[in-house]
Structure 1
Amino acid sequence: MAKKKVTPIKSYTLKSNGELRYEFPAYLGIDQLTGKQKRTTKRGFKTRKQAELALARIKLAVANGSYHQKRAETYLEIYELWVKQYEKRVEESTYVKTISIFKNHILPAMGTYKIDKIHVDICQKHVDEWASKLKKFRIVKSYAAKVLDFAIKRGYIQTNPFTHVDLPTNISKKYIEVVEDKVRNFYTREQLKEFLACLRLENNFKVFALFLLLAFTGMRRGEALALTWNDLDFTTNEIRINKALSIGKNNKLYIKPPKTGLSRTIEMDDNTMAVLKEWKKKQQQDYLKLGINTDKPKQLVFSNEKNEFIQPTKLRKWLIYIQKKYKLATITTHGLRHTHCSLLLEASANVTEVQDRLGHTDVNTTMNIYAHATKKAKKEAILKFSNYINME
């Protein structure tokens, strides 16, 4: 009886569609640097015959000393090497945003290019394309260039053609519209009062308390959603901001330090703290009916029906609903942060105090928001100038 041939080739099933694929382990010879054996696994073959042929070729190449592992050649292959290192150096939420930029803009344009064939004219072409349709095209260009910088460090190329690209100076109509929208991303004092009054009419005290908090603290959305009751001091009327909710891989929510990495404690007004205290009591009552005990220090101030993190995008949906229902001026959730900043400065608050309250590391960030956020300030500026000159 003939002995059954043992083969290293095995089959497996793709989780995505259930299709059958084949793989095999392979010996690649001795690593000249370490003196150790080199082994790898080759997979993805659609038929056993393809796998057998590939294995035979590798064995022959290893035997005659001609086998060399494939070296990255395309922009996509270099990106895949770079992104593994990049993931280790940045916050998870930053990593998610970055791969989104590559997936949506950079890889569709440059992924198939041979890395050593990319020249300045190719880079200029794509920068011009990004500039014609993206407000933040400079960021896209910067990330695209990082991969080529990585290629230089790894010896694939000598220079980065992106360093010789001319950034477009012409601003498209779409870009102008986006900038104008950004200028309007705030509420005046009267608009804010109207917005909060409309929220009061809704039968959702949690949403009212949340948006009141955003408007009267200037907190970032993630900071508000990460608050726990032990972060609030009802005796001193203070709120400690030491964490933020963020979106990571696969849309998983997780807690991280605030954007600047620094904690801050802000003072609050009596009315807002009274609303939050009322919400705390109502939260205990409402959630108790669901069989959930919220009477614990690390209880989230704002949570969903399962007493888990609220999806950050939910705030945008609530905001749009209120704005449409009551025909209010349109701003984003972040616009309430801009509103808080501009109205504080309108109320003659000290710039440094506003900077600390909002958690800005640079005072210019505070002033830039104020500069584009309020018409009243611009009118008062010329009145102050006119009164100072006093031409009468």
Structure 2
Amino acid sequence: MAHYRKRGKKGQETWSFIIDLGLDPLTKKRKQVSKGGFEKKKDAQAAARIIELEIERGTFIKESEMPFENLAHDWLKSYGLNVKISSVRAREKEMKHFICVWGPYPIKNITKKMYQDRIYELSGRYTRNYTSGIHACGRMLFRHAMDLGLIKVNPTENIHLPKQQTKIEDLESGQETVKFIEKEELAQFLKLCQTDGLEMDSLVFTTLAYTGIRIGELLALKWADIDMDQSRLRVTKTLYNPNNNYREYQLLTPKTTGSIRTVRIDNMLVSIMKKHRMKQNETKLKNRQLYNDNAFIFARDDGYPQLRKVIEVRLKRLLKIAGIEKNITPHSFRHTHTSLLIEAGVGIKEIQQRLGHTDINTTMNIYAHMTANMEEKASHQFSELMKDLLL
């Protein structure tokens, strides 16, 4: 039975109720649920009756006063038990967008409207993909709270991301970030790597361009992953080093299960791999006192795997020398490899297996993007041809 109280100054009194839930079997302390601030006693009675019915039906949940930030940290710990550290770091960044506004706020007080307003706000500042990632993080967190019986209602249910509106300025400018190099540019770039590149530059960028593997997969390669006789390369791991500290790297499983794959490699690439191995053996002898030998192919002079940051800086240097003014990153060589496979007439399924895409849709999206660029190029070349004929 609920007990009711009237409190406050005369003319400003409010009603509250207290419902006894019995003794906690663990703490041996009496449990109660209470709520106040009702203007009339009948309002307090109506609210108390709802809770009494839930208790009778066994569906009552006493919502937690836990601060949002505490719940977030607890969830991240449990989330980290089943995923890679790189995934945890990504979720930590996404979670900060909620913690910065709700940190000390009790989780039970976060309403659907509050959550929707926050998603709208983030949608106005970030891309749809990034906002979608933040929203996915929020859904997992509040689902966790529901599973633990900390809240009654999940504020993330039926929340929709607003569609990203294309700006007129973007359409008028018609500018698109170039993510791959043309065949002729690639040939020029790889020749430049041989003449003007620093140590391993030619091998690094040739391997990326000729295999389509990710930069993390490349830096994690060990000599046992290469079969020189069969001209094959086995991808089984990726290098994780977010702080760019050469001693603090981790070897993780690849991005997806489909990323574990065997890639056929060119005889030319096998040849430069053999030359590189001979040179690396000389480096081992020269630096044998300091060399940390873990059999990495793309190793520094001390044996530790090369840093991604170093590869990125060297790439910018070579692009500048080559006069290629495009937004090219190490990952662009993966797109370049894909475009060349498409141009060579390789089938979708074969491209999917070579790139290590678990989902065929990922391959199809890249295929559609690349073929659209090729069609545009063909149209332009045709127009130039006809222009010359009509002059």
TM-score (norm 1): 0.72
Does residue 120 of structure 1 match 2:112? Answer: yes
The residue type paired with residue 206 of structure 1 is M
Percent of aligned pairs with the same amino acid:
30
**2:133 maps to which residue?**
139
CA deviation string 1:260-299 (max 9, x = no partner)? 2353211111111111111112222234333369898x51
1:217 to 194, 211, 232: 211
Q: Which runs of 5+ in 1 are unaligned?
A: 1-30, 36-70, 384-392
**1:53 maps to which residue?**
none
Alignment of 1:20-39 (within 5 A): 32-33=25-26
The answer as to whether partners of 2:290 and 2:302 remain within 8 angstroms in 1 is no
Alignment of 1:173-192 (within 5 A): 184-192=178-186
Cα 1:138–1:346 shift into 2, 3 Å: same
The answer as to whether partners of 2:244 and 2:308 remain within 8 angstroms in 1 is no
2:335 to 333, 338, 345: 338
**2:83 maps to which residue?**
90
1:317 to 308, 313, 316: 313
Alignment of 1:3-14 (within 5 A): none
**2:33 maps to which residue?**
none
1:169 to 163, 171, 187: 163
SS of equivalent residue, structure 2 residue 336: helix
In 2, Cα distance between equivalents of 1:207 and 1:239: 19
The residue type paired with residue 302 of structure 1 is F
The answer as to whether partners of 2:72 and 2:95 remain within 8 angstroms in 1 is no
**1:60 maps to which residue?**
none
**2:288 maps to which residue?**
291
**1:26 maps to which residue?**
none
The answer as to whether partners of 2:67 and 2:106 remain within 8 angstroms in 1 is yes
2:222 to 213, 220, 228: 228
Q: 1:239: Cα distance to partner?
A: 1.0
1:153 to 147, 163, 175: 147
Question: Which deviates more from structure 2 when the two are superposed, residues 86-95 or residues 277-286?
Answer: 277-286
Alpha carbon RMSD of aligned pairs, Å? 3.2
CA deviation string 1:306-351 (max 9, x = no partner)? 2112222332222222223333122111111111112111111122
**1:363 maps to which residue?**
360
Cα 1:202–1:181 shift into 2, 3 Å: farther
In 1, Cα distance between equivalents of 2:126 and 2:317: 28
Alignment of 1:63-82 (within 5 A): 72-82=65-75
Does residue 242 of structure 1 match 2:236? Answer: yes
Does residue 102 of structure 1 match 2:110? Answer: no
Cα 1:119–1:175 shift into 2, 3 Å: farther
Cα 1:361–1:291 shift into 2, 3 Å: same
The answer as to whether partners of 1:92 and 1:248 remain within 8 angstroms in 2 is no
TM-score (norm 2): 0.72
**1:308 maps to which residue?**
304
Q: 1:95: Cα distance to partner?
A: 1.0
In 1, Cα distance between equivalents of 2:292 and 2:105: 58
Cα 1:243–1:182 shift into 2, 3 Å: farther
Cα 1:295–1:306 shift into 2, 3 Å: closer
In 1, Cα distance between equivalents of 2:257 and 2:149: 35
Q: 1:97: Cα distance to partner?
A: 1.7
The residue type paired with residue 253 of structure 2 is P
In 2, Cα distance between equivalents of 1:250 and 1:95: 18
In 1, Cα distance between equivalents of 2:358 and 2:154: 32
Cα 1:170–1:237 shift into 2, 3 Å: closer
Does residue 256 of structure 1 match 2:252? Answer: yes
Cα 1:249–1:196 shift into 2, 3 Å: closer
Q: 1:174: Cα distance to partner?
A: 12
**1:6 maps to which residue?**
none
Q: 1:156: Cα distance to partner?
A: 2.2
The answer as to whether partners of 1:292 and 1:307 remain within 8 angstroms in 2 is no
The residue type paired with residue 304 of structure 2 is E
In 2, Cα distance between equivalents of 1:373 and 1:72: 52
The answer as to whether partners of 1:120 and 1:164 remain within 8 angstroms in 2 is no
Cα 1:295–1:368 shift into 2, 3 Å: same
In 2, Cα distance between equivalents of 1:156 and 1:113: 14
SS of equivalent residue, structure 2 residue 80: helix
The residue type paired with residue 301 of structure 1 is I
